[in-house]
Structure formats: structure tokens, C-alpha cells
Amino acid sequence: MSDHRFVFEDDPDLPGWKRWSLTDQTRFNSVFGPLSVLVEDGIARVRFSPQHIHSNLRGDVHGGALLAFMDMALFAAGRSFGVLTAGTAATLDLSAQFIAGAPVPTGAIEARMELLRETRRFLFMRGLIVQGGATIANFSGTVRKPAS
């Protein structure tokens, strides 16, 4: 089932990856630009390139921006795993532990996502936020799938 509110297509900048974004660029997600997604060995890699607008006064990606990215990564990963295809799913919980700062000019931020369990109504996922070789944060979340 397709959903006209989302674009999920080949990423022209990263061969083998998919690009995930909302069609309505006036929504909050547009602050991050399109997300790039690749599934390898059961892990969904969700990536964005932080810009100055995502930074805090230290020059790292703001914790709130990282939390928003974690939330969006749950949905991009769910779509990539083929368990979210359309509709309005909802985040039920998101738990995060920050481990290190993520300098803005250093490079892409990536969520490495794992689907722990899928039930009729819920997705249970966890992930690591990494930048280069550094682990930035650890998180887990539960998504309620849209009603059929």
C-alpha cells in the first residue's frame, strides 16, 4: 500500500540506499532534509547530514535534534524493514542515553536500527547513533502501527 504523504525512492547520491522524506516540506521533518536508508544484515542504517541549524552552542548536534532524528529513524527503519507501509503510526515511547557529542562539521549522523519484535499492533526497535567511528547515543522505542 502506498502513501502519497511520503517519498521512498532510490537515493541518487548514495547508490543502493533509499531516500525517505515527507512530500509536504512545510512539516517539521524538513528541518533534517531527506533521510537516507540502507538495510544490511538485518540492520537499517538511517542517515542525515547535520547542518548549523542542528547545532548547540558547543558546536555539537543539539540533544533535541538527536532525539527528533531518533524518532524519525524509527519510522524510516520500519518502512525499510517492510513493516510500516502507509498511514499514521505513532511513537509510544522513546528512551535514549547520550554517550558523546556529535560535532556538526564532522560528517553524517547514522542510526543503526534493529527490529526486536513485531506484533499485530506494535514495533519494538533499538538503535545506536554513530558518527564516523564514535558511538554518540543508544536508544530504543515502541511504535504503534496504524489501524488497518
Percent of the chain scoring above 70 in pLDDT: 96
Q: Which tens digit of pLDDT belongs to each residue from 21-48?
A: 777 787 777 788 889 999 999 999 999 9
Which has the closest alpha carbon to 63: 55, 74, 73, 75? 55
Domain assignment of residue 101, yes or no = yes
77-100: average pLDDT: 90
Domain assignment of residue 74, yes or no = yes
- Residue 2's pLDDT is 52
Domain assignment of residue 1, yes or no = no
DSSP string, 31-88: GG-PEEEEEETTEEEEEE---GGGB-TTSBBPHHHHHHHHHHHHHHHHHHTTS--SS-
* Total residues found in the chain within this entry: 148
Structural domain boundaries, residue 127: 6-144
Would you call 146 exposed, middle or buried from its count of C-beta atoms within 10 A (0-12, 13-18, 19+)? middle
Domain assignment of residue 36, yes or no = yes
**CATH code of the domain containing 29:** 3.10.129.10
Instruction: State the cell numbers at 68.
Output: 527528533
Domain assignment of residue 37, yes or no = yes
Overall domain count for the chain: 1
Domain assignment of residue 38, yes or no = yes
Domain assignment of residue 27, yes or no = yes
Phi-psi region of 59 (alpha: psi -120 to 50; beta: other; left: phi over 0): left
